[in-house]
A and B are shown apart, each in its own frame.
Chain A
Amino acid sequence: MGNEHNSKLHTLSVLVENRPGVLARIAGLFRRRGFNIESLSVSTTDDPTISRMTIVVGGDDATIEQITKQLNKLIDVIKVQDHTGEDVVERELALIKVSCEPEKRNEILNLVTIFRASIVDVGASTMIIEITGTEDKINAMLELLRPYGILEVARAGKIILARGSKAT
């Protein structure tokens, strides 16, 4: 969708009624209108009747405007906000399992310290590293770990909150 040249990633924060089927409605809307979800994170908020979806989606301005308007049309959607370019705290979480012979442990430990990540599992020849941060930070960590042999990666979708008293 949209023109590739001015297409960029947007982060939408969507508050929805916490009801069965809401995720299907949102996923269905993206599918049938040809929008593509880059990442998605869903959980309830402090109000158990409301869930927050953080959706990362690519597109030009017109496409993002359509997505926002179409989301707003869904009866179960309470609020949609595009936080792209705003002052927000954004985080992703990744679990990275690397192959790690005992003699390499210190090298990896150094990397983990530099990235302020943590080691959550150590096996005979493997290690699981937990890292949170921006997408760039996680990508950088992955690049540095690659020479040791990455066995498996699980990444959670991006979540954001607006800084200060501004609501997300």
Chain B
Amino acid sequence: MGIKAAEALVQTLIDEGVEVIFGIPGGAVLEIFDAIYHHRDQIKFVLTRHEQGAAHEADGYARATGRVGVCMATSGPGSTNLTTGLAAAMMDSSAVVAITGQVATSFIGKDAFQETDTTGVTMPITKHNFLVMDAKELPRIIKEAFYIAKTGRRGPVVVDIPRNISRTELDDDFQIPKGVSLRSYKVTLRGHPLMVKRAAELIASCSRPVLYIGGGVIASEASDEVKELAERCHIPVVYTLMAKGAFPDEHELCLGMGGMHGTVAANMALNTCDLLICVGARFDDRITGNPSEFAKVAKKIHIDIDPAEIGKNVKVDVPIVGDAKIVLQQLLEIVQPKRHSSWIEKTAEWKRNYPLTYKQSSELLKPQFIVETVAKLTGGSALVVTDVGQNQMWAAQYYPCRRPRQFISSGGLGTMGFGFPASIGAQFGCPDELVIAFVGDGGFQMTMYELATAVLHKLPIKVIIFNNFFLGMVKQWQDIFFGSRYSATMLHGNPDFVKVAEAYGAVGMRVKTPDELQPTLEKALEVKDKPCIIDCWIDPDEHVYPMIPAGGTIKDIILPPEQRHKKEELLADIAAVYATV
């Protein structure tokens, strides 16, 4: 007797190395869940409280481990609830496979109970998707889904399986397919030698180079190569939010994060360099501001595995399609050591004169102080996951990272509610790491139901809530651009987060003053068998600085209040460079 397609599916997942699946069952996937039950020793199923949580957890797992994250949901509302998580994974090129149930093939198109056109809905928010109409094809499709998700520019893939398909018995000779062969999907890994040579020539002849690195450096595990190139050719490094950790913050050549809330040194370097070497980043508007003014005096080299990214937002001089690690290795074969001492000194001067800064207070709890204290107590080695908004920017600015996959955040989609469930996925993937989630009071409430999952699995995640009783980043924009008219940003009706934590069986703590912070965090770090929610009541009027307003240029940068008197000097530095071209 043959096996059912659902059983073949689970065997194929095990063959792919899947150890954990996040999700919720339902009518259309019962057969698959029965197969999972039979293999419960090999695959852990994590029952979440909402499918959005499952998708973010699979995504957080993928980002923390570099493996494929898997989530599962039933048809209709199950699959539509996954969509925010899939879109977040798509925007940040995260390898997620989502398996969804579908109504039986005979009911497709009849508006049956819990029917949604899942492949139609997820088409623009996935790298690819499949609707399985023949049970025999299911194992092959699963292999293809994993292959597509984890190769090239990574991304989420949905496999939609009608309920009668998972029930169908396969032939006796069922075997898990070995390889994958897709004639229409080819990934270019090696850079074109001529382009690599031209890049090396530009590096040899430039005088003010900058390495601008993005998430592709982490995906292709190219951190060592970036470091080698930076050190050999004396090139300062600016990272995007997605690449935080890919180059050590403490490194003398590191200028920090670039873009809207990046450091002055990073943005000055990006905009005054004469050679911009972009590796695995995509000239996103949060980095460039006005793209036609961005780095406009620089020649540009763009290394990316996705040909469509090259020339999409900004015109470049040397396009190199390929895997970041491999292309950098090709470059390292030919570039000669050189020094840019006066340029490096200039960037160091910006670092000294315009450091990230905030005004400490003896009464009000400053969010930056919280991140600094957490960094101190954790030795800068925690796995940091953030939500979206001010909390995300403060974490990125003040938590120094030193290894890839140490910092996880929803960059492209900017998904509030991502942080906490993603930290759960990260903790499943890295059980021995200390996982810290920085969240806001707004975003945390979007997915805090996942406390049940974290408590059930005894995950010792520290959730640090920057509680300002506001949707803080929106408030900041209202403060700066809309005369502090707080239209719908005050979070009246916030729950008591300590009680919420306790109600779920987690530990809840509250910090209201700077003095209470360290002792409370120390206590929290001792909790090893359950999540710990630290509700920090921060100064609600704190803003994230520096800030380049959306669509602006480096000249529009809003410095922290303490540095505003020095803006003229910055403008003079920019003018001096622009005058020479």
- Chain B associates with chain A: yes
Interface residues, chain B, with chain A CB atoms under 8 Å away: 119-120, 123-124, 127-128, 131, 133, 148, 182-185, 306-308, 311-312
Looking at chain A's contact residues, is the secondary structure mostly helix, strand, loop, or mixed?
A: helix
Determine the chain A residues whose CB is within 8 A of the CB of B124 once the complex forms. Answer: 28, 32
Count A-side interface residues using an 8 Å CB cutoff: 19
Are B184's CB and A78's CB within 8 A?
yes
Interchain CA distance A78-B185 in the complex, whole Å: 7
Are B306's CB and A73's CB within 8 A?
yes
Determine the chain B residues whose CB is within 8 A of the CB of A118 once the complex forms. Answer: none
Are A72's CB and B123's CB within 8 A?
no
Task: List 14 A-B pairs, Cβ < 8 Å.
Answer: A17-B184, A21-B119, A24-B120, A28-B124, A65-B311, A66-B308, A66-B312, A72-B308, A73-B308, A75-B128, A75-B184, A75-B185, A76-B184, A78-B183
Determine the chain B residues whose CB is within 8 A of the CB of A25 once the complex forms. Answer: 123
Interchain CA distance A140-B150 in the complex, whole Å: 53
Asked if A137 is at the interface (CB within 8 A of a chain B CB), the reply is no
Determine the chain B residues whose CB is within 8 A of the CB of A28 once the complex forms. Answer: 123-124
A69 in contact with B131 given A75-B185, A78-B183 (CB within 8 Å): no
Asked if A128 is at the interface (CB within 8 A of a chain B CB), the reply is no
Interface residues, chain A, with chain B CB atoms under 8 Å away: 16-17, 20-21, 24-25, 28, 32, 62, 65-66, 69-70, 72-73, 75-78
Are B119's CB and A72's CB within 8 A?
no
Determine the chain B residues whose CB is within 8 A of the CB of A78 once the complex forms. Answer: 183-184
Closest to B312 in A: A66
Interchain CA distance A32-B123 in the complex, whole Å: 11
Interchain CA distance A70-B185 in the complex, whole Å: 13
Q: Known pairs A72-B307, A73-B308, A76-B184; list 17 more (Cβ under 8 Å).
A: A16-B184, A17-B184, A20-B131, A21-B131, A28-B124, A62-B311, A66-B308, A70-B308, A72-B308, A73-B307, A75-B128, A75-B148, A75-B184, A75-B185, A77-B184, A78-B183, A78-B184
Interchain CA distance A25-B124 in the complex, whole Å: 8
CB distance from A144 to the nearest CB of B (A): 44
Shortest Cβ-Cβ A-B pairs, 5 listed: A69-B308, A75-B128, A78-B184, A69-B307, A75-B185
Residue of B120, B123, B306 most packed against chain A (CB within 10 A): B123
Interchain CA distance A28-B128 in the complex, whole Å: 13
Closest to A15 in B: B184
Determine the chain B residues whose CB is within 8 A of the CB of A66 once the complex forms. Answer: 308, 311-312
Determine the chain A residues whose CB is within 8 A of the CB of B183 once the complex forms. Answer: 78
Closest to B123 in A: A28
Determine the chain B residues whose CB is within 8 A of the CB of A24 once the complex forms. Answer: 120, 123
Closest to B185 in A: A75
CB distance from B157 to the nearest CB of A (A): 9
Closest to A32 in B: B124
Determine the chain B residues whose CB is within 8 A of the CB of A72 once the complex forms. Answer: 307-308
Interchain CA distance A59-B305 in the complex, whole Å: 25
CB distance from A3 to the nearest CB of B (A): 13
Determine the chain A residues whose CB is within 8 A of the CB of B120 once the complex forms. Answer: 24
Interchain CA distance A62-B148 in the complex, whole Å: 27
Interchain CA distance A71-B87 in the complex, whole Å: 20
A75 in contact with B308 given A17-B184, A21-B119, A24-B120 (CB within 8 Å): no
Interchain CA distance A55-B128 in the complex, whole Å: 22
Interchain CA distance A135-B78 in the complex, whole Å: 49
Interchain CA distance A62-B127 in the complex, whole Å: 23
Interchain CA distance A16-B128 in the complex, whole Å: 14
